[in-house]
């Protein structure tokens, strides 16, 4: 574990995938690479495990998931260190990430029965003598494909929902963070040793593609928009359903009555945490003219205090540095001003906090996902202009608003799956709230009731309990009976409200 390699670049050697620290190049993790046959074999094993796991019922699974939750909590520092080693993010940030993930494990375990369990539903006129039964049955095996930026939280959202719903899971972690993925699988096996209910397969993108083709019941993908399209195309070959959690370019709107200091503090956190490598990171701010100057000054002051190597780690994926540099350089060439950082901020593998103003609306820094500790701030006349600009991109993941009188009204009008009011990113911490986007940010939901329902197929059962009073669905109905049905419908539905 001492060899020094190109910082951050994973390598495949002798059948092993080796991840490296983006800060030092020291080996961080080593896992066996899975070929297509190994992926198929894992899915086959998972099918058997899924039948056993589903047979435990909601209560049996809840007990085991809560035992896993306890183990994750007991070993949280170890998980924080491993995540630090593979991603470069501060270990304390990794621990907060783990806590958010553990919330979802706990919530899914406790709520699966309520959301997915069998229940009676009311019947309707044409089948008045039938009882309606609804339940959500597991798909069998769910394939989870995860990114590197939040290697604990992003896979554990779909994994906890899928497991609580009664599925087995095969996880393909990012090639940058395989050891974190394997660690999650190994700890689960400690509390559920009987069957391989949660497994990992490792390698590069082709392993993810093999998982898409393996006949799993559903794929829950988190990653970039470009890869999401490839995943959907591959899954289309077998009509395998998908959840796609893709990229974003989230906006923060600062309204005239906002608490400017609080808005600046949250903007800096939302934009710079995890060195800006956050799908729901704030990348654009729109401040109305009354508060614009004060907001820019407060953001610059707060972001300027962040220390590289302390609050902000290196850029995890070496290639991302070029994208961040291009966005900054293009914006400056197009007339933007760096009020903090700028071209010199990019010193691989680090990027210092950068705040850009007067950035043209058609710049890459406004339109494309930057994934670095950068923020553009744009002056707008009012909240309407801010909303129009915020909503002008194909992405629609998250967003934020600071304002007193109209915060929630503005949030409703933002083209985004999730919006935080008077904070940034907070929706991810509430396990009751579904998480997901629209447009180029993908579709489907994880977390919350909607997230759980993604991992069960609705199963409808209609049970006849008595002879039909108004037989409609039979060749044996008589004209008089049809007349009675029509009369009943006229009585019930014929009057205009």
- Binding residue for ligand NDP, selected from 111, 174, 187, 370, defined by CB under 6 A: 174
Query: 230 or 379, CB closer to ligand NDP?
Result: 230
Under rule CB under 6 A, residue 222 binds ligand NDP? yes
DSSP 33: P
Q: Which two tokens stand for residue 87?
A: 């991603």
End-to-end CA separation in angstroms for the chain: 74
CA distances 114 to 210, 304, 455, Å, are 34, 47, 14
Among 25, 132, 205, 318, binds ligand NDP (CB under 6 A): 205
H or E element at residue 351: strand 350-351
Q: Give me the least distance between CB of 203 and ligand NDP, in Å please.
A: 6
Using CB under 6 A as the binding rule, whether residue 171 contacts ligand NDP is answered as no
Q: What is the DSSP letter of 475?
A: T
The size of the interface with ligand NDP (CB under 6 A), counted in residues, is 31
Among 103, 212, 235, 279, which one carries the catalytic annotation? 279
Of 175, 170, 178, 169, nearest in space to 83 by CA = 178
369 vs 236: CA distance, rounded Å: 26
Q: Is 154 in the site for ligand NDP (CB under 6 A)?
A: yes
Indicate the residue among 115 and 144 with the shorter CB distance to ligand NDP.
Answer: 144
> Which strand (E) or helix (H) includes residue 97?
helix 91-116
From 79-87, 222-230, 292-300, 461-469, give the range in contact with ligand NDP by CB under 6 A: 222-230
- x/- letters, 275..314, toward ligand NDP (CB under 6 A): ----x-----------------------------------
- What's 34's DSSP letter? P
Phi–psi pair at 21, nearest 5 degrees: -65, 130
19 binding ligand NDP? (CB under 6 A):
no
**x/- map, 351-370, ligand NDP, by CB under 6 A:** ------------------x-
Can residue 91 be called a binding residue for ligand NDP (CB under 6 A)?
Answer: no
Minimum CB distance to ligand NDP smaller for 274 or for 350: 274
- The least distance separating ligand NDP from the CB of residue 44, rounded to whole angstroms, comes to 19
Q: Which tokens in the block code for residue 177?
A: 């963070």
At 193, give phi and psi (nearest 5°): -80, -10
Strand order across the beta sheet in which 119-121 lies: 119-121, 130-138, 456-464
In angstroms, the CA 299 to CA 326 distance is 23
The gap from C-alpha 47 to its chain's centroid, in whole angstroms, comes to 25
Query: Tokens 């992003």 correspond to what residue?
Result: 154
- In the numeric block, which tokens belong to residue 182? 């394997």
**209 vs 470, beta carbon nearer ligand NDP:** 209
Q: Which residues contact 458 (CB under 8 A, 6 or more apart)?
A: 134, 135, 136
Catalytic residue check, 245 = yes
Unique residue bearing structure tokens 């977390």: 447
439 binds ligand NDP (CB under 6 A): no
> Whole-number minimum distance, CB 436 to ligand NDP, in Å?
7
386-425 positions binding ligand NDP, by CB under 6 A = 397
- Footprint (CB under 6 A) of ligand NDP, residues 133-152: 145-150
Instruction: Out of 90, 143, 196, 208, point to the residue binding ligand NDP (CB under 6 A).
Output: 208
Secondary structure (DSSP) of 371-383: -SSEEEEEEESSH
Task: Name the residue number minimizing CB distance to ligand NDP.
Answer: 208
Minimum CB distance to ligand NDP, residue 174 (Å) = 4
230 binding ligand NDP? (CB under 6 A):
yes
Nearest residue (CB) to ligand NDP, 22 versus 208: 208
- Minimum CB separation of residue 211 from ligand NDP in Å reads 7
Burial class (CB in 10 A: 0-12, 13-18, 19+), 172: buried
Q: Hey, which residues are catalytic here?
A: 245, 279
Residues near ligand NDP, by CB under 6 A = 145-150, 154, 172, 174-175, 204-205, 208-209, 212, 222-224, 227, 230-231, 234, 245-248, 279, 369, 397, 437, 441
């Amino acid at each position: 574990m001492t060899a020094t390699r190109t910082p951050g670049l994973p390598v495949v050697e002798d059948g092993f995938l080796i991840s490296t620290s983006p800060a030092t190049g020291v080996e961080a993790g080593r896992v066996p690479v899975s070929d297509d046959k190994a992926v198929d074999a894992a899915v086959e094993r998972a099918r058997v495990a899924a039948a056993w796991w589903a047979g435990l019922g909601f209560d049996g699974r809840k007990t085991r998931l809560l035992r896993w939750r306890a183990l994750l909590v007991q070993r949280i520092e170890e998980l924080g260190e491993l995540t630090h080693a593979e991603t470069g993010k501060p270990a304390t940030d990794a621990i907060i990430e783990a806590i958010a993930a553990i919330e979802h494990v706990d919530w899914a375990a406790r709520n699966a029965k309520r959301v997915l369990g069998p229940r009676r539903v009311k019947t309707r006129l044409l089948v008045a003598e039938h009882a309606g039964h609804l339940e959500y049955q597991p798909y069998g095996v769910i394939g989870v494909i995860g990114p590197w930026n939040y290697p604990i939280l992003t896979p554990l959202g779909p994994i906890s929902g899928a497991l609580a719903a009664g599925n087995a899971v095969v996880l393909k972690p990012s090639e940058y963070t395989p050891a974190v993925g394997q660690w999650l699988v190994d700890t689960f096996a400690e509390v559920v040793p009987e069957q391989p209910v949660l497994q990992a397969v490792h390698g590069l993108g082709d392993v993810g593609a093999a998982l898409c083709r393996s006949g799993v019941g559903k794929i829950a993908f988190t990653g970039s928009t470009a890869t999401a399209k490839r995943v959907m195309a591959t899954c289309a070959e077998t009509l395998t359903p998908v959840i796609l959690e893709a990229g974003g370019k989230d906006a923060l709107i600062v309204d005239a009555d906002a608490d400017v200091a609080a808005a600046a503090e949250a903007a800096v956190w939302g934009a710079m945490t995890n060195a800006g490598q956050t799908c729901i990171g704030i990348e654009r701010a729109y401040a109305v003219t009354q508060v614009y100057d004060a907001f820019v000054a407060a953001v610059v002051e707060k972001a300027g205090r962040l220390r590289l190597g302390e609050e902000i780690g290196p850029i995890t994926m070496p290639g991302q540095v070029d994208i961040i540099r291009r966005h900054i350089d293009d914006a400056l060439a197009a007339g933007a001003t760096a009020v903090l950082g700028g071209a010199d901020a990019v010193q691989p593998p680090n990027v210092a906090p950068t705040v850009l103003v007067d950035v043209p609306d058609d710049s890459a820094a406004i339109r494309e996902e930057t994934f670095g500790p950068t923020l553009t701030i744009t002056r707008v006349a009012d909240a309407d202009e801010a909303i129009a600009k915020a909503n002008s991109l194909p992405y629609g993941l998250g967003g934020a608003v600071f304002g007193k009188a109209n915060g929630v009204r503005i949030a409703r009008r933002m083209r985004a799956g999730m919006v935080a009011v008077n904070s940034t990113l907070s929706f991810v911490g509430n396990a009751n709230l579904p998480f997901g986007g629209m447009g180029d940010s993908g579709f489907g939901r994880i977390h919350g009731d909607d997230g759980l329902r993604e991992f069960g197929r609705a199963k409808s059962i209609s049970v006849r309990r008595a002879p039909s009073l108004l037989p409609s669905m039979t060749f044996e109905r008589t004209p008089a009976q049809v007349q009675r049905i029509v009369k009943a419908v006229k009585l019930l539905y014929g009057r205009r409200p």
